Amino acid sequence: MKIMKLKDVIVYYLLKTIKNVGISMPLLFRRMTDIMSKEIHKIEKMLQIEPLSTTDLNNLVHELANLFIKEKLAREIDVKISSNEILIDVYDCNYLYMSEEEINEEKKCPICLIALAASIAQTLIKDIEFNFVEYNIDPRNRKCEIRVSFIKP
């Protein structure tokens, strides 16, 4: 088992406890998306980054992907946007070990930070709404395929 950082262990058990008392991760994910998108300017200040392009989904998702690369959370992130979903291939995510069976019996990450960023992007863009997220983890190639679906009214 990879040695984890204390803050990651604490976040992992925080999420596990929330789930344990009956709050689902998709519900938490959606609520977090809403709160974070409303406080995006505060987050920009906290991270000391340039204002994000909140009018163009393609630019915004790429900006967020670059932010993850810059923060060394993943080695490479490929993004494709279609009419109702964002397809993201993530290589060498720093948190991939969270999906290992000896850490997480469900063999998937408790919350995917990259999917969260994509859903925040969808929430920030007017006229679309985050729908759901699906993951496919390929541990051999250290790759995650993330599908973040959105709704157009």
One-letter amino acid of 106 = E
Part of the chain binding other proteins (CB under 8 A), chosen from 49-57, 91-99, 110-118, 144-152 = 144-152
Helix-strand-coil split of the chain, %, nearest 5: 45, 20, 35
Nearest to 139 by CA among 86, 88, 101: 101
Nearest to 15 by CA among 103, 85, 101, 130: 103
Nearest to 81 by CA among 53, 67, 60, 112: 60
Residue 26 near other proteins by CB under 8 A: yes
Part of the chain binding other proteins (CB under 8 A), chosen from 20-28, 52-60, 62-70, 100-108 = 20-28
Minimum gap (Å) between residue 42 Cβ and other proteins: 18
Q: Which of 1, 3, 21, 46 binds other proteins (CB under 8 A)?
A: 21
The encoded tokens of residue 26 equal 């998709």
Calpha distance 63→53 (Å, rounded): 8
- Residues from 92 through 121 that contact other proteins (CB under 8 A): none
| CB nearer other proteins, residue 140 or residue 153 | 153
Q: Which of 15, 30, 92, 128 binds other proteins (CB under 8 A)?
A: 30
Interacting residues with other proteins (CB under 8 A)? 21-24, 26-27, 29-31, 34, 129-134, 149, 151-153
